[in-house]
């Protein structure tokens, strides 16, 4: 019961908190100009009379609804503006220190590992796929490793999981496959949510936390500016610390994406996007050729022991 309610609570938390914060900022900015009830007239006097007649509870509900509506709009605008500024900064010289750049790097690494892990499994069982990858390896052998025959490479790769990963990583254009998985990542998340997978709840938690942290930056920064104008310029010193909200927000989103990637790599989630790697032609690094998927797979047993010391091809 609680697990079904938490996503809804998280959906309300961010816009409601952001909306209340913006209302506080507006009150700090112009509240001192609002007349007291005794000196109010016109529409403002009518508002005061309505609030008095409705009571504190009704006023609280009305303010909360207003804060929520304001928060929904402000959150969407704030997130869009933050992402737009981040995208622009990633095209400048300071791109390496931006949080979005680090997120892209980590996400690409995770998806490359997912693709390589899946193809390493295919390497073990698909004889035609294995043969063509080894042919490509023999056509462009590693210069820093001893010369080996194709049969020796095959024996090493089948015997050791990490050697198998190394062969796939060297021969296959895993970055292209990672881009394909990245393009379908949103659909992967939707399918997980549709199946009520616990992983989807964890992703929702981290994603909502990321939205909350990033969305709170704008109203808190505005509060610092208002306080600097009305009280002390020293309040502007808080702005650099508020920028960390964006960094920790992006970190939460990166963690959510890495969690999905880790589940895909571990086989906890068998998504159609990943299953296609078992049959589709695979792009190679050299020559621009592709590996043609075989219709049948060889029943070659995996002789490796994943728990042993990592095997290297050297």
Which structure tokens are listed for 34? 């609002």
Measured CA to CA, the distance from residue 65 to residue 216 in angstroms comes to 18
| Max CA distance (Å), the chain | 95
Q: What is the pLDDT of residue 220?
A: 95
User: So where are the chain's domains?
Assistant: 13-89+198-266
DSSP characters over 190-259: HHHHHTT-HHHHHHHHHHHHHHHHHHTHHHHHHHHHHHHHHT-GGGGGGHHHHHHHHHHHHHHHHHHHHH
Q: What is the pLDDT of residue 196?
A: 65
Predicted TM-score of the model (pTM): 0.73
Q: What is the pLDDT of residue 6?
A: 62
Measured CA to CA, the distance from residue 109 to residue 194 in angstroms comes to 27
**pLDDT one digit per residue (tens) for the chain, 314 residues:** 455 556 667 789 999 999 999 999 999 999 888 888 888 888 888 888 888 898 899 999 999 999 999 999 999 999 999 989 988 988 889 888 888 888 888 888 888 888 898 899 899 988 888 898 888 888 888 777 777 888 888 888 889 888 999 999 989 988 888 888 877 777 777 777 766 667 777 888 888 899 999 999 999 999 999 999 999 999 999 999 999 999 999 999 888 888 878 777 777 776 777 788 888 888 887 644 444 444 443 333 444 443 333 344 44
Residue 89, classified by CB atoms within 10 Å of its CB into exposed (0-12), middle (13-18) or buried (19+), is: middle
Give pLDDT tens digits for 11-51: 899 999 999 999 999 999 998 888 888 888 888 888 888 88
Q: Which residue has the tokens 């043969």?
A: 131
**Dihedral (CA of 99, 105, 109, 112) sign:** positive
Measured CA to CA, the distance from residue 185 to residue 190 in angstroms comes to 9
């Amino acid at each position: 019961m609680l697990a079904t309610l938490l996503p809804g609570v998280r959906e309300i938390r961010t816009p409601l908190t952001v909306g209340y914060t913006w209302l506080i900022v507006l009150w700090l900015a112009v509240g001192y100009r609002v007349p007291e009830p005794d000196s109010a007239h016109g529409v403002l006097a009518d508002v005061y009379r309505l609030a008095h007649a409705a009571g504190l509870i009704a006023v609280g509900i009305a303010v909360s609804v207003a804060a929520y509506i304001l928060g929904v709009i402000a959150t969407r605008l704030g997130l869009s503006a933050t992402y737009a500024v981040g995208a622009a900064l990633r095209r400048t010289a300071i791109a390496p220190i931006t949080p979005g750049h680090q997120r892209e790097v980590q996400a690409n690494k995770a998806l490359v590992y997912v693709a390589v892990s899946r193809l390493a499994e295919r390497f073990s069982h698909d004889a035609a796929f294995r043969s063509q990858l080894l042919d490509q390896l023999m056509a462009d052998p590693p210069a820093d490793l001893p010369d080996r025959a194709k049969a020796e490479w095959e024996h090493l790769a089948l015997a050791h999981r990490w050697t198998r990963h190394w062969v796939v990583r060297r021969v296959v254009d895993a970055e292209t496959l990672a881009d394909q998985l990245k393009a379908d990542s949103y659909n992967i998340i939707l399918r997980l949510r549709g199946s009520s997978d616990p992983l989807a709840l964890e992703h929702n938690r981290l994603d909502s936390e990321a939205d909350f942290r990033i969305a709170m930056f704008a109203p808190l920064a505005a509060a610092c500016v208002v306080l600097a104008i009305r009280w002390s310029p020293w309040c502007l010193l808080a702005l650099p610390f508020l920028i960390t909200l964006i960094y920790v927000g992006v970190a939460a989103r990166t963690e959510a994406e890495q969690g999905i990637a880790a589940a895909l790599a571990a086989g906890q989630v068998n998504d159609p996007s990943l299953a296609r790697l078992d049959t589709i032609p695979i792009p190679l690094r050299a020559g621009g050729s592709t590996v043609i998927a075989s219709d049948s797979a060889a029943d070659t047993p995996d002789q490796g022991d994943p728990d042993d010391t990592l095997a290297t091809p050297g």
